[in-house]
Structure 1
Amino acid sequence: MSGKLHQLGSCGVAKSEEDRRRYESLWNEFFRDPSQWWDNSTSKRSPKHADFKHKFTKDSLLMDGCYNPPWVIEELRRRGFASLSGELCRSTIMGAALPVSLIKAYEDGAAFVVSLRACTKNKDLHRGIKLHDNILKMGLVEKCSDALVTMYAKCGELEKAKELLNLHNSRDVITWTALIAAYARKGQSQRALNCFDRMQHEGISPNAVTYTCILNACATMGAVVKGEEIHNVVAKQGLLENNIVLGNALIDMYAKCGALPKAQDLIERLPSRDVVSWNALIGGYAREGQGEQALTCFEHMQHEGISPDAVTYICILKACATIGEIAKGEEIHDEIRKQGLLQNNMALATALLDMYAKCGALSKAQKLLKKLRFRNVVSWNTLIAGYVQDGQGKQALDCLNLMQREGISPDAVTYLSILKACATIRAIEKGQEIHERIAKDGLLQDSTMLGNALVDMYAKCGALSKAQDVLQKLPSRNVVSWSTLIEGYAQEGQGEQALHCFELMLNEGIRPDAVTFVSLLNVCSHLGLVDMGHALFASMKTKFGVIPNSECYTCMVDLLGRAGRLERALELVQEMPSLQRSAIWLALLDACRVRGDINLGRWAFEQAVQVNKSHGPPYILMGQIYAAAGMQDKARNIEAQRVKYQA
């Protein structure tokens, strides 16, 4: 009998009416004298094993059986079998498989709500839809609407959730919050904000959970003004006094919006802080490249007696990578190793690899990678990118070979780094091989970045016709695509072709950026096209709305200097919003050297050494100016200064 009942409890279709009656009879026996049954519910090793077994007859009862009578769950609660009723609530099998004839006892909808919550927890959309069908048949949609909206929202069916919410006559804060949370999780922040506004328009007040979800949405889209509005509201309502989750959401919002002083001020004012609070702030500083502040926060957190977790370490390692603080990074590595955190945390291992790679300690990064129990494409990509960043293209290619020997296939990120490596060492044959793989895998259809990397590789290897062919065949092109090709032609001295590409780019309706203009102005400088250079520079703001950067000004100074227009070059330098770039002074100094202008050259030299006293080129150029003018004593004096400050 027990074997038969065990099967009955886990199947979806009744064997017979007799089996049904027998199963219900056993439940009645259980409730008459529970002491006669062994309770296996907390110790069973499989969902198919019995929850209760009779001490003498060995009959079995299964809590999630499709044959459970409708009254069982309520009776379990009434008798105090809380853990068992909870287990039944978590089961999706019973609620989804029961025929309508057996569910009629649940006319208040409670059983459906319990089962829908189970579907929500397990992300079981298939069973949730079956439950919805039964709810529709019984006319219980209004009673189950909150649970239905939540189930669809958390299972990712946002349009269905929204449709049900719109049909629901008695929407409440729980229903709205479920939909808002789902939109926020999916990155659809504007829709989350729209729901929030509509909810309030209907007179429904948000609760702390709603505010937390909306702050997450604000963080994603950088809506700091809206986030500040929420902050003011929750502060007035006193919600920050006893809700650390809400406080953490505010810190995270400010940090992700780049408003780090506000995030810092808030964390200091909160009545209580935890590791999540500090992680949000430390992560914010690390993302903004403010590594020193991140490390300071790390120290404050530990001083408060709050122990770092894996997320903290990931953020701190990123901060160390940003500022090249390898000593602190190694200290963190030791802490992580002592705590055994590297065993099963690839994200932490990758952060360590990234820190060593960005600090230039590539041998340590490779040694760490070899020691990892598990390696994946992300960990290899980190090391490969490190070698590329350090200009070690050959080592990057060697890593690709090692990775593939381990049976790990490269992805688009791998190919991006490898193409840069090929460009660095002008390994065009390897680049062509990668091109063939990418084309074979169909990756160019979805990745403009990968297409641009191919154009860059061919251009830097001098294969400009091939670069242009790749660009023309790309399914989509952007300003980076064209700027890369224009720069390639400019570097190879093919100025006319660069200018022709600029025309083609404009004909496609693609607007240039500052990088495009740097290449074009370099072309004009080398070809002596002063008037065209002037026209292009003027068009940046007036026609294209592009603010010239320091490289653009440097190119213009070089152009004017080569043409002997030193006065206009000086005027341009004085018009610059910032004069802290030494390249602009070098361009002016070089023009003075060519034209033999000692006075202007001396002024440009003084500006250059104010920016960086130990930088050698300004001394060399000024010495050449003095030497050409026959002022040997001054030339020797300048050389002595160079030796002194570079020592």
Structure 2
Amino acid sequence: MQLAGLSPDAVTFACVLNACSSVQDIDKGRKIHAEIIRQGLIGDDVVLGNALLDMYAKCGALSTAQYLLQWLPSRDVVSWNALISGYTLLGQGEQALRCFEQMQIEGFSPTSVTFTCILEACGSIGALEKGEEVFYEIAKQELFENNIVLGTATVDMFAKCGALSKAQQVFQNLPSRDVVSWNALIAGYAAQGQGNQALECFAKMQQEGISANEVTYSCILDACGSLGALDKGTEVHHEITRQNLLQTNIVLSTAVVDMYVKCGAFQSAEQVVEELPLQAVAPWNSLITGYARQGQSDQALKCFKLMIHRGINPDAVTFTGVLNACSHLGLTDEGLMHFMSMKKIYNVKPDIGHYTCMIDLFGRSGQLDKAMEVIKEMPPGEDLAVWSALLGACQKWGDVNVGKRAFEHSVELSQNDAAAYALMANIYATASLYNDAEKVEV
């Protein structure tokens, strides 16, 4: 268009900004913003201003979006919705609620879009009381009629907040239900460990003629895994395979592997991983972590080596499983090798979980001096789990001196950590330091 000598106007820029939002191209969006300013096009054009705001919000530049909202010459509820939606999508529920309150203070009435975003924000942070307040306002305005999205968002909010009876009640009163509505309820039951209820909902959904999708199957596989319902899980796996859903969906393939692992059917889990055309790390992680948790650490390490041989790069989750496996097998040298390779070879930054694994690894073998060295190499910011792991190792090996240091750090981080006091008292008692043991009190 520009090559043809035609100059873009406000409508053109709004369309291009929407395109930038959809592909999250913030660099292009910033260039468009600069050109809009140069041409002095914003003015009182609320549509163009909203397009800019939406672009920054969807690209994750929420501080810029917030600043822009404050300085827009004119704004409406769509402007606020763009910002609230941005905070919600990035999991910043508290900030979304603050924007919602400020919007109302400024006299803007929320729309169905606003309420949908706020319900999602409430669900993400477990803000049940606020979610109920929003629900009653929606009901008062009779917005549920013919609005399946808003109804589903309400079911999802109650389910995520653990209020499953209320989620069920809202669900039953919905004027219409689709697969997304059913998924919200099924996912809620599965997430709360109520696998039987999830399976019952799934059966009722099928009876009503609603076809399951990938999200449904993922939730049902999770429920089967939590219940150890291998037969039902296998049945779902076969249906997924029949629909050719497994070959291109990493989340679903991982859910299948995870279900078999939790049901103890490791041979089936391995077979699924072997047959996947996807070079994805997540299904392998599920298998490796499953073996490690079941005490089959040697199998976990074999899977890790096979994964590397296949050219699949490990991630942080992989190394947690591998380090745990090394710890349980007493393979300190191999564990240290894998720990060192994380950053040097695979560019994976160790987190607090990996450091805790290393302390457990050295602690099990009595190398408490090396465990202390690991702690010294940790980035700034202490964590109770690290010192608790070291304190437990000190009890095992009767190391009073290192134990005292670990205890001091533990109680500094949490004065009411009863486990730390009990461990330190036992360390003193084992060393026949009974007077010191008696002085250790919460």
TM-score under structure 2 length normalisation? 0.95
Letter in 2 for 1:295: L
Whichever residue aligns with residue 204 of structure 2, its letter is: L
Q: Is the 8 A contact 2:190 2:222 kept in 1?
A: yes
Once residues 346 and 458 of structure 1 are traced to their aligned partners in structure 2, the CA distance between those partners, rounded to angstroms, is 35
Aligned partner of 1:567 in structure 2 is 369
Aligned pair partner of 1:493 in 282, 285, 295 = 295
User: 1:68 is matched with which residue?
Assistant: none
Alignment counterpart, residue 342 of structure 1, candidates 115, 127, 144? 144
Which residue of 212, 235, 238 maps to 1:433? Answer: 235
For residues 46 and 312 of structure 2, what CA distance do their matches in structure 1 show?
Answer: 48
Q: Matched residues in 2 for 1:611 and 1:373: separation? A: 52
Select which of 550, 563, 568 maps to 2:352: 550
Secondary structure of the structure 2 residue equivalent to 1:443: coil
What residue is the counterpart of 1:263 in the other structure?
A: 65
Provide the secondary structure at the position in 1 that maps to 2:146: coil
2:38 maps to which residue? 236
Q: Partner of 2:16 in structure 1?
A: 214
Measure the CA separation in 2 of the matches of 1:263 and 1:474.
42
* Cα contact 1:282–1:297 (8 A) shared by 2: yes
* 1:529 pairs with 2:331: yes
Alignment of 1:419 with 2:227, yes or no, is no
Q: What is the match of residue 620 of structure 1?
A: 422
The question of 1:308 aligning with 2:110 is answered: yes
- The one-letter amino acid of 1:225's match is D
Determine if contact 1:557/1:584 at 8 Å carries over to the other structure.
yes
In structure 2, the residue matched to 1:584 is: 386
* Equivalent position of 1:406 in the other structure: 208
- Mapping of residues 221-370 of structure 1, within 5 Å: 221-370=23-172
Amino acid at match of 2:295: G
Partner of 2:263: 461
Partners of 1:605 and 1:216 in 2: how far apart?
A: 56
Q: Is the 8 A contact 2:138 2:144 kept in 1?
A: yes
Structure 2 counterpart SS, 1:444: coil
Question: Amino acid of the residue matched to residue 573 of structure 1?
Answer: I
SS in 1 for 2:68: helix
Give the drift of 1:537.
Answer: 0.7
Measured after TM superposition, the shift of residue 240 of structure 1 is 1.6
1:443 aligns to what? 245
- The equivalent position to 2:309 in structure 1, one of 504, 507, 525, is 507
Query: Residues of 2 paired with 1:350 and 1:613: CA distance?
Result: 43
1:283 touches 1:315 (CA, 8 Å); kept in 2? yes
Instruction: Give the Å deviation of 1:605.
Output: 2.8
Query: Aligned AA for 2:96?
Result: A
**Contact 1:623/1:635 (<8 A) preserved:** yes
Superimposed CA distance per residue, residues 217-263 of structure 1 (whole angstroms, 9 cap, x where no aligned partner): 32233333332232232223221212111111111111112221111
Report the more deviating stretch, 589-598 or 327-336.
589-598
- 1:49 corresponds to which residue? none
For residues 80-159 of structure 1, what are the structure 2 equivalents within 5 Å? none
Contact 2:250 2:282 (8 Å CA) reproduced: no
Gaps of 5+ in 2: none
Tell me the distance in 2 between the aligned counterparts of 1:370 and 1:364.
10
Q: Deviations over 1:534-590 (max 9, x none)?
A: 111111111111111221111111101112221221121122224343222221111
Q: What amino acid sits opposite 1:586 in the alignment?
A: S
Is the counterpart of residue 593 in structure 1 residue 377 in structure 2? no
Is the contact between residue 285 and residue 291 of structure 1 (CA under 8 Å) also seen in structure 2?
yes
Structure 2 contact 179–213 (Cα < 8 Å) conserved: yes
Change (3 A) 1:202 1:635: farther
What's the CA shift string for 1:196-233, capped at 9, x where partnerless?
xxx3x555432212222222232233333332232232
Give the direction of change, closer, same or farther, for the CA distance of 1:590–1:545 in structure 2 (3 Å limit): same
| Residue type at the aligned position of 2:315 | D
Q: Greater relative contact order: 1 or 2 (C-alpha under 8 angstroms, separation 6 or more)?
A: 2
Amino acid in structure 2 at the alignment position of 1:306: F
Q: Which moved more, 1:460-469 or 1:287-296?
A: 287-296
* Cα contact 1:598–1:626 (8 A) shared by 2: yes
- Offset at residue 637 of structure 1 (A): 5.1
Say whether the 8 Å CA contact 2:280–2:312 is kept in structure 1: yes
Q: After superposition, give the CA deviation of every residue in 1:440-494 in whole Å (9 maximum; x if it has no partner).
A: 3332233232222111111111111111112212232411111111112212222
Secondary structure, aligned partner of 1:239: coil
Is the 8 Å Cα contact of residues 448 and 477 (structure 1) preserved in structure 2?
A: no
Q: Out of 604, 610, 614, which is 2:406 matched to?
A: 604
- Give me the whole-angstrom Cα distance separating, in 1, the residues matched to 2:412 and 2:91: 26
- 2:194 equivalent to 1:386: no
Q: How does 1:2-151 map to 2 (within 5 A)?
A: none
In structure 2, C-alpha distance between the alignment counterparts of 1:329 and 1:575, rounded to whole Å: 44
The answer (yes or no) to whether the contact 1:458–1:464 under 8 Å persists in 2 is yes
Cα 1:233–1:632 shift into 2, 3 Å: farther
C-alpha separation in 2, matches of 1:325 and 1:355:
9
Counterpart residue identity of residue 520, structure 1: V
Shift of 1:526: 0.5
Amino acid at match of 1:511: N
8 Å CA contact retained: 1:314, 1:348:
yes
Q: How well do the aligned residues superpose, as a CA RMSD in angstroms? A: 1.9
Q: Compared with structure 1, are the counterparts of its residues 402 and 557 closer, same or farther at alpha carbon in structure 2 (3 Å cutoff)? A: same
* CA–CA separation in structure 2 for the residues paired with 1:632 and 1:392: 48
1-side partners of 2:418 and 2:186: how far apart?
Answer: 33
1:636: Cα distance to partner? 5.0
**Alignment partner for residue 273 of structure 2, among 445, 449, 471?**
471
- For the 8 Å contact 1:459–1:488, the answer to whether it is kept is yes
Give me the whole-angstrom Cα distance separating, in 1, the residues matched to 2:57 and 2:418: 40
Shift of 1:618: 2.9
One-letter identity of the residue aligned with 1:273: R
Q: In terms of Rg, which structure is larger?
A: 1
Distance 1:580-1:417 versus aligned 2 partners, 3 A rule: farther
Aligned residues: 442
